Structure 1
Amino acid sequence: MSKNKIVTNKTCGKLYIAGEYSILTAGQSAIIKNVNIFMESRISFSDTDEYTIFSDMFNYKLTLERDTFDNENILHNFDKNYSLICEAISVMSEYLKLKNLKIKPFKLEITGKMERDGKKFGIGSSGSVVILTVKSILSLYNLIFSKEMIFKLSSYVLLKRGDNGSMGDIACISYENLIFYRSFDREKIRALIEKETLEDVLKTDWNYEISELYFNEKESNQKGKNSLSCEFLVGWTKEPAISSDLINIVKNSICENKNFLENVEKVVKKLREVIKNGDKVEIKKCIGENGKLLENLDKNIYSKKLKELASATQDLDICAKSSGAGGGDCGIAFSFDEKDTKIVVEKWRKLGIELLYSEKL
């Protein structure tokens, strides 16, 4: 390991295409799309006996002693802003010990806020920063890693912190692709974390599924041709959602709506197949059905701007819906006509909705 080596990495964002909210129930499924707006990192071994951590989310760097990550008690006194990154470093220190590697302090710099003017895009910045920290440390030590290992290590970090998410964002950002994800029993794995070693937890079958649904030109020669042909659009409402509060409100609505989980699961599984087949009519139907299920589940999911984002596609060869928690942030659309793409983007602009990201599939 060269002491002066600087290693760079990047991680993308994500948005839900279908299955948000239902995915919080173990065994339910979702389809999630990578959004190639990136966070980037630079990491190198330190010249001193201290760790130096910097994120451009904050206007200062954090300096920690060499033995900081050897003491669980110190973890509870971490700087609040940097606690997520520090938790990831702590877990990775444990992982490095499993590999019988000598742990050395390093300098880690993370850039890319996934926000503008203090307003988050809502594309998974928390998940991205955890994955970026994990990847950075693995790369620094020249360790070979798989997408699955990134997913499990990053999920472990969040579960250890008591995160209540589905880990769907972690799955999508780890695989950097359009994926089908079936969620696992997080309470069961969290209980294992409390009583088993990191090594044993990683070796355990968590009982989830992650399947990639789209391949680039190089990959498609090896894994099969894509039938999907459209443009993926992300509209940003510039209205940040209060995700945690909204999720708690909607969870209650799901308890009262006995058919919601079953109906969404049918749509997600159907969408998985029609995306593979490139069936435009059925893709539009599935996106519309999932959007209606969310809208009928709880009035808080579709803000005024998100309703306008979706309705702007009426009479166009486009389907659209809210994405993720809703209540603000972003909506997604699939356009099957270039002229209609231009029309909807202009409609969004007049409504104060910004085209944040687009990608031809």
Structure 2
Amino acid sequence: MTKTYHVTTGGKLYLAGEYAVLTPGQTALIKYIPILMEATIQANPDYQLSSDLFDYSVDLYPDKQYALIQETVSIVNDYLVKLGHTLSPFRLRISGKFEKNGKKIGIGSSGSVIILTIKAMAEFYKIHLSADLLFRLASYVLLKRGDNGSMGDLACIAYEDFIAFTSFNRQKIRKLIAENELLTVLTADWGYQIRPIKVTLPCEFLVGWTGTPAISKDMIELVQASISSDFLEQTQIVVEQIEQGLKKADQELVSVGLKRAGQLLEKLHPAIYSKTLQELVGATKNFTAVAKSSGAGGGDCGVALTFDTKSSCCLIEKWQQAGIELLWQEVLA
């Protein structure tokens, strides 16, 4: 009987530092969201890739819809051959959609699909991948595709943790990819930092979904030209404040820092804060809570930290009244 292997992975949301982290050396705080996607993989006479996002399956012959999965398989196959493995075809099925009512939720679906595919293949070939190597392989896939993101989402999803991610020079690594073979790139010094955050501040982490999808790639292209050295400097200061506040249980430092981080984004570009995102943030007024947009903005999700149970309940109620759906709720400490 053919053995079937199962793997899962989740998504992510930015607490602070989005947009700034597109610049090498900047830091963002990113929270793992365990809303899971699943993959099953088993030996098969031929390659067969399927996803419940599409109503058909493919092999490795290039297909536009399946390009992300196919390119991931190709790169991992290259890695396996270089490690001395004999390749074997398989059937890979990915299930789970980061969407509601047919609308995409911006918690990292493309990054999750890449990492899910890599994890499934590692399980199939019985090889151990550290969280860091998983991150590098996934980043390699996106960098080779010309993706314009920071790769922070991949770091968070690979580590399955609340992290502080300091970004690397992606142009430098793209050049490395173009001029070197895979193993050389994977073992090079990329210049990033990934630090898991141990939260000691008693608080709840809430995610509100506006119901309006936003395309991160398009938002980045729209906003990137507005990023100034002052924005980067101010954002780095507040990100460090928030990280320290979470670690040292300093509620004031976290509240002031998150509020300031949101103001910096609002000032950066008017497209970031949609009307509903403004309502999401404004709903925290009169509660011991603070909220801001998360990720690319323009719709999609916002995040909040609440510091007592009553504030959590009242905020959720106000969000519901504004048509904002509670997507995730978690006690951080």
Bin for the TM-score computed over the shorter chain: over 0.9
- Look up the SS of the partner of 1:210 in the other structure: strand
Equivalent residue number for residue 91 of structure 2: 107
Equivalent residue number for residue 59 of structure 2: 63
Q: What CA distance in whole angstroms lies between the structure 2 residues aligned with 1:322 and 1:197?
A: 39
Equivalent residue number for residue 340 of structure 1: 311
Kept in 1, the 8 Å contact 2:39–2:92? The answer is yes
Amino acid at match of 2:241: K
Equivalent residue number for residue 230 of structure 1: 203
The structure 2 residue matched to 1:247, chosen from 205, 220, 223, is 220
- Look up the SS of the partner of 1:333 in the other structure: strand
Compute the displacement of 1:196 (Å). 0.4
- Look up the SS of the partner of 1:62 in the other structure: coil
Q: Deviations for 1:12-52, whole angstroms, at most 9, x for unmatched residues? A: 11000000001001111100001111111000111x1x101
Equivalent residue number for residue 275 of structure 2: 304
- Look up the SS of the partner of 2:286 in the other structure: coil
Q: Deviations for 1:288-327, whole angstroms, at most 9, x for unmatched residues? A: 0000000111111000000000000011011100000000
Compute the displacement of 1:63 (Å). 3.0
Q: Deviations for 1:321-343, whole angstroms, at most 9, x for unmatched residues? A: 00000000000001111111110
Q: What CA distance in whole angstroms lies between the structure 2 residues aligned with 1:258 and 1:145?
A: 37
Q: After TM superposition, which residue ranges in structure 1, 4 or more long, deviate above 6 angstroms?
A: none
Q: What CA distance in whole angstroms lies between the structure 2 residues aligned with 1:186 and 1:332?
A: 27
The structure 2 residue matched to 1:52, chosen from 48, 53, 58, is 48
Aligned pair 1:187/2:171, yes or no?
A: yes
The structure 2 residue matched to 1:130, chosen from 110, 114, 117, is 114
Q: What CA distance in whole angstroms lies between the structure 1 residues aligned with 2:221 and 2:146?
A: 16
Aligned pair 1:206/2:202, yes or no?
A: no
In the comparison of the two structures, how many residue pairs are matched?
A: 332
Compute the displacement of 1:154 (Å). 0.4
Amino acid at match of 1:298: H
Amino acid at match of 1:262: E
Equivalent residue number for residue 137 of structure 2: 153
Percent identity over the alignment is 49
Amino acid at match of 2:94: I
Kept in 1, the 8 Å contact 2:148–2:217? The answer is no
- Look up the SS of the partner of 2:47 in the other structure: strand
Q: What CA distance in whole angstroms lies between the structure 2 residues aligned with 1:94 and 1:210?
A: 26
Equivalent residue number for residue 40 of structure 2: 42
Q: What CA distance in whole angstroms lies between the structure 2 residues aligned with 1:209 and 1:120?
A: 29
Structure 2: segments with no counterpart, 5+ residues: none
| Equivalence map 1:271-350=2 (5 Å) | 271-350=242-321
Structure 1: segments with no counterpart, 5+ residues: 69-77, 215-225
Q: What CA distance in whole angstroms lies between the structure 1 residues aligned with 2:84 and 2:8?
A: 26
Amino acid at match of 2:87: I
Aligned pair 1:264/2:235, yes or no?
A: yes
Compute the displacement of 1:131 (Å). 0.4
Aligned pair 1:92/2:76, yes or no?
A: yes
Q: What CA distance in whole angstroms lies between the structure 2 residues aligned with 1:268 and 1:261?
A: 10
TM-score scaled by length of structure 1 = 0.90
